[in-house]
Amino acid sequence: MGQVWKAYDRTLQRRVAVKLLRSDLVGGSTDRATLERRFLRECRVTAGIDHPGLVTVYDAGMDEGDLYLVMQLLDGMDLADLIAEQEPVPWEWAVAVAAQICSVLAAIHAAPVVHRDLKPRNVMVRRDGTVKVLDLGVAAVLDPDSTKLTSTGALPGSPAYMAPEQALTGLAEPRSDLYALGCLMYEMLAGRAPFTAPTALAVLQRHLTDRPDPIGTHRPDVPSGLDRLVADLLEKQPEDRPATAQDVYRRLVPLLPPAARDADAALAPNSAMDPTRPLRHPAAPQPFPHAVPAQAAAADGGRYAAVDRTEAGGLAAVVTGAAGPAGVIAGVAAAAVGHAGAHVGTVTPSPGSGSASGSVAGVASGSGSAHLGWAVSAGPSAANVRTDTGHSSGNSIGNRSGTGGGAGHRVGNIPAPAGGSPLDPSGTDWSAVPSAGPDPGGLDVAAALDAAARLLGESQLAQAVDVLGAALPAAVARHGEHDPVVLELRQALADTLLADRQFRRALPELRYLASTFATKAGPLDPEAMEYARQVASCLEELGETHQALQEYRALHAAFQRIPADRADLHFGFELRERTALLLAAVGDPYQAESLLGPLLAEEQRALGLHHPQVVALGQQLLRIQGMRTAWRP
């Protein structure tokens, strides 16, 4: 999905990694500002997941149209190389790796986030045996609508590890990640992926139809319980797999090695990158000294400079050009890590490299490949992800849109804060603000909304949520649940939660709003129906596919009662498309096709043959038609 370069942070005197995402893989909008906002949003979501099995992100942004991440630099080996070097992988190692991955998946699914592209190259085993999961959120960045194809004509993800429902529709839920985990476990134990074929499409079709050989046919030493667990993870229907990562971990525990009390063994060198070590020697000190970072390429100037050498692979690169001002990555060198190996060449600053804070100024040239034992990717961070882009988050309180989850809400008829300046949200206890005058609490609610709007404009979504979430209980206490001011505040909170991808927290707010507007104006009220649609969308994001399908069906049945001259055509199109795709995801591609065919014809008449929405829907229909014969009837 891109290149990874080893670099040096001059400010904090440490090595870092810079990942450049390939712009040609981005299948969504060509609007670079929109792409950057979406990219930063995904970075914030993943950075908010606190787990040691994820990689720390230090910075993120865009430079001359290319997205970049500055991340923790890891020493170790990715799982693909480990499998190649250790074949066959001891089954105890496979269990230890899977258990650590389960811990990571449990954390990200609770966020809720779906990885979408769990594969051996995205799992690293470090020298101390700990496991890191890489590239969290990257698949979502590459395409905002995961049911659409990327610009290269493929869905985000890797065919060899893609769950049947993801292969068929592009929709992924937590149990899709568990299917990918089953593929990883199978490959570790059997020495090969569960399904292989000459083409990517043929591999996907095998995921839909075939059952892999039992592990025992390749590895008689593998315990039967482990063989059964892998088979359960590779079930075709999501509901037939273990429900959660916690359930998988529970079944792995009896197979894990017991903790030892041998200090000498715990402190012995661990050159084999044994993934059972963290389980046998929990909390043991590192048995080897970390490498001392090399000196910066320049004594001052840009924050990120190139490192002259990598200890892991002994690879060298040349950095040319002067460093820019603080915050500029003046050059990154030594390793562009990819599936073919490490790309080594010369880094030359691009024109104007010292002019923009946070920009990546160097680009690679040259050729060659070599093995490099370093890999990095996106993950959580104790440091702040860069947000001072100057761009709106695209989800402003002052501009509500019905195009999807996270749209902002316009606040009307609320007095502006005194003095015209918003209150500082940091540390503000809105419930403690004293009421005054005939409209108690009016100004502080307005100030909260104004402050949240400002924070959204600065892409500070988490802070905006905190401001609105703290203001809502105080507003309810002062005005009552049904006061218009409280309703406006609740709408703003729900919209901001969606923008921040806090779907679990947004769901009850959306249900309340849908019910409130339906009670006040009837179930066919546009606001009531929009919030009901967002409820279904939230359920879909949370992996509650069957519940989401029920919501969409009920909403479409209600929509059909609206007179044709008052019905929102595009709203109806969306309901039908989501219903069809979820039907395919739960194992009924025939009914999905019967809905998508007429829908495509209607959209072609209404929007034109070459409208992007029509083209994407046509691609989806062709995909389902091409694979439906392979799906279980």
CATH number assigned to the domain comprising residue 172? 1.10.510.10
- Provide the pLDDT for residue 395: 34
Count the neighbouring beta carbons within 10 Å of the beta carbon of residue 414: 18
Asked whether residue 494 carries a pLDDT value surpassing 80, the answer given is: yes
Residue 544 within any structural domain of the chain = yes
Which range of residues forms the domain containing residue 135? 92-100+121-139+155-280
Report which of residues 102 and 478 the model is more confident about. Answer: 102
Buried b vs exposed e over 616-631: b needs ≥16 C-beta within 10 Å? bbebbbebbeebbebb
Beta strands of 307-361 (E only): which ranges?
309-310, 315-316, 318-319, 336-338, 341-343, 346-349
Count the neighbouring beta carbons within 10 Å of the beta carbon of residue 240: 11
Q: How far apart are CA 576 and CA 170, in angstroms?
A: 17
Last residue of a domain, one of 261, 280, 299: 280
The answer to whether the Cα torsion of 434, 438, 441, 447 is positive or negative is negative
- Provide the pLDDT for residue 50: 86
pTM of the model: 0.66
Catalytic, out of 75, 78, 117, 143: 117
Q: How far apart are CA 135 and CA 138, in angstroms?
A: 5
**Which residues lie closer than 8 Å to 503 by C-beta, 6 or more apart?**
112, 405, 497, 538, 541, 542
Residue 347 within any structural domain of the chain = no
Last residue of a domain, one of 280, 310, 333: 280
Q: How far apart are CA 159 and CA 194, in angstroms?
A: 11
- Provide the pLDDT for residue 201: 83
Taking residues 45-68, report their average pLDDT: 85
Establish whether 24 is a catalytic residue. no
SS3 state of residue 253: helix
Residue pair 161/180 in contact by the 8 Å Cβ criterion:
yes
- Provide the pLDDT for residue 209: 87
Q: Which residues, in sequence order, are bridge partners of residue 71?
A: 17, 57
Residue 196 within any structural domain of the chain = yes
Residue 77 within any structural domain of the chain = no
pLDDT per residue over 348-366, tens digit each? 333 333 333 333 333 333 3
Residue pair 102/177 in contact by the 8 Å Cβ criterion:
no
- Provide the pLDDT for residue 360: 33
Q: How far apart are CA 82 and CA 121, in angstroms?
A: 10
SS3 state of residue 120: helix
CA angle 155, 158, 162 (to 5 degrees): 85
Residue pair 422/446 in contact by the 8 Å Cβ criterion:
no
- Provide the pLDDT for residue 82: 93
- Provide the pLDDT for residue 23: 62
Residue pair 279/266 in contact by the 8 Å Cβ criterion:
no
Residue 45 within any structural domain of the chain = no
SS3 state of residue 16: strand
Residue 225: both structure tokens together = 């319980």
Q: How far apart are CA 571 and CA 177, in angstroms?
A: 31
pLDDT per residue over 414-467, tens digit each? 333 333 333 333 333 333 333 333 344 444 778 888 888 888 888 788 889 999
Q: How far apart are CA 474 and CA 429, in angstroms?
A: 9
Tokens 């003046």 found at: 330
Whole-angstrom Cα Rg for the chain: 26
- Provide the pLDDT for residue 586: 86
Average pLDDT, rounded, for the chain: 73
CA-nearest of 233, 259, 231 to 244 is 233
Q: How far apart are CA 313 and CA 311, in angstroms?
A: 6
Residue 198: both structure tokens together = 């000459």
Residue 342: both structure tokens together = 């490490």
Residue pair 34/490 in contact by the 8 Å Cβ criterion:
no
Buried b vs exposed e over 449-480: b needs ≥16 C-beta within 10 Å? bbbbbbbbbbbbbebbbbbbbbbbebbbebbe
Residue 498: both structure tokens together = 């969606």
User: How many structural domains compose the chain?
Assistant: 2
Residue pair 320/289 in contact by the 8 Å Cβ criterion:
no
Last residue of a domain, one of 280, 295, 314: 280
Go through the chain and tell me how many residues it has. 633
Residue 458: both structure tokens together = 């600065």
Buried b vs exposed e over 347-362: b needs ≥16 C-beta within 10 Å? bbbeeebbebebbbbb
Which of 59-68, 248-257, 410-419 comes out lowest in average pLDDT? 410-419
- Provide the pLDDT for residue 379: 31
SS3 state of residue 182: helix
- Provide the pLDDT for residue 374: 26
Q: How far apart are CA 262 and CA 132, in angstroms?
A: 26
**Which residues lie closer than 8 Å to 436 by C-beta, 6 or more apart?**
none
Residue 53 within any structural domain of the chain = no
- Band of residue 392 on the pLDDT scale cut at 50, 70, 90: very low
Residue type, 293: P
Residue 388: both structure tokens together = 């001072």
Residue 450: both structure tokens together = 């104004």
Residue pair 372/342 in contact by the 8 Å Cβ criterion:
yes
Q: How far apart are CA 511 and CA 497, in angstroms?
A: 13
The answer to whether the Cα torsion of 523, 526, 532, 536 is positive or negative is positive
- Band of residue 178 on the pLDDT scale cut at 50, 70, 90: very high
SS3 state of residue 501: coil
Q: How far apart are CA 189 and CA 241, in angstroms?
A: 19
Residue 207 within any structural domain of the chain = yes
**Which residues lie closer than 8 Å to 479 by C-beta, 6 or more apart?**
441, 485, 486
Residue 219: both structure tokens together = 């590895």
- Burial of 19 (C-beta count, 10 Å sphere; 0-12/13-18/19+): buried
Taking every pair of C-alpha atoms in the chain, what is the biggest distance, in angstroms?
A: 80
> CATH code at 599?
1.25.40.10
- Provide the pLDDT for residue 162: 94
Residue type, 189: L
Residue type, 607: L
Q: How far apart are CA 194 and CA 182, in angstroms?
A: 9
Residue 456 within any structural domain of the chain = yes
Same domain, 425 and 276: no
Q: How far apart are CA 570 and CA 344, in angstroms?
A: 50
pLDDT per residue over 260-286, tens digit each? 766 777 667 665 678 887 877 775 665
Asked whether residue 614 carries a pLDDT value surpassing 90, the answer given is: yes
SS3 state of residue 411: coil
Q: How far apart are CA 408 and CA 35, in angstroms?
A: 18
- Provide the pLDDT for residue 272: 67
Q: How far apart are CA 149 and CA 617, in angstroms?
A: 10
